[in-house]
Amino acid sequence: MPMVFRAAPPLSAALAAWEPANRALTSLVSVATLPGWWTERHLLFVLCALCSSVVAALTWGAILRHRMRQQTDILRRTMEEEAARERRRAFVERERGRVLEAINSSMPLEQVLGMITSFISEQMNGLCCWCVPHNGGILGCNKTRGVDLPVEGMPHTRRDIHSSSGEQLGIFILDGVHPPGDPLAGSELLDLGVSLAALAIDNRRLYEDLIHRSEYDQLTEIPNRFLLECRISSSLTSAQRHQQRFALIYIDLDRFKRINDQYGHRIGDVFLQKVARRLTDRLRSRDTLARVGGDEFIALIPIVRDRSEAEEIARRLENCFESPFVIDDLILQGSASVGVAIYPEDGGDAHELKLVADAAMYSSKQKVEGYHRHEREFF
């Protein structure tokens, strides 16, 4: 089939067809670009709204940053203060542990109380502290002022020291009034010092009582066998080092059982107490009199020149029975048998010396009993 070609419409005809649309578009653009009162008013309103929003956002942002900075500073200060309190509490606990170790050690009570008052003084910004136990003495920190106690009329804090049973043990004094604020710097810290002082005094009193009970006879209040053995050991070491002599004098009361049987144990106990007092008065301060049995005593003379000096001391002990013992309405006449042993002539250790002294005492007792038996037979 033959192809048919149509001629294109002329260009002028196409332009003529688009002319109305072109005029409408041109008029629209001209209207949009030309300023008018309605358009400017809306644009100004939009610009003002945008500026107000920006200013409000910037202001609110600044307020938020300020509040966050304040809260951050408060939180940081709180954390720093809490950390400081924790460090201080840890330090106080360490010092408290150190003081407790000192309380449970053999450190003298004066040093322990000095540690406590110095510790409290350091934690109380240098305020001086004192502890005044009832047994006498003023102990404590006093580095800044030349007085023993706060001046009369000056402000000070005073707390009584009580034991766990409620007994008053002393007084704890702070020179001034504790600062307010952190309780660790005030009343709580002062209470800690008072409780530590009470524990130190009470424990040391209990410790000394136990030591006394373990070393001294409860009836006569003179050394017992344990303390005598310790002192004999010391005398033996000293005598060996310095080539000296010491003596043991064994003392056994005669017919003590008769006193108990006839007058009762209370009279017998008082009789033993009076005998111990008399024997102690006849000895020197460096000598030791110990009760080693019911009616048996041993005197340790740590330094003697020779046997004659030891025998002279023994005679002095025997003579203390010359005067009768007055107990209530009773007048009792006592006597004792005495034996002497000298180091190193009679033995090289405590056991040998006591055996020799006991044998000498027993020999003396037989003579006394033989004399009394002969006296009874004669009459």
Which residues are known to be catalytic?
295
How many residues does this entry show for the chain? 379
Residue 213 to residues 134, 200, 323: CA-CA distances in angstroms?
22, 20, 31
In one-letter notation, the amino acid at residue 141 is: C
Which pair of structure tokens corresponds to residue 240?
Answer: 């060996």
Tell me which DSSP letter residue 10 carries. Answer: P
How far apart are alpha carbons 202 and 215 in whole angstroms?
20
Burial class (CB in 10 A: 0-12, 13-18, 19+), 136: exposed
Cα radius of gyration (the chain): 52
Select from 297, 205, 206 the least CA-distant residue to 248.
297
Residue 329's H or E segment, with its range, is none
CB 289 within 8 A of CB 283: yes
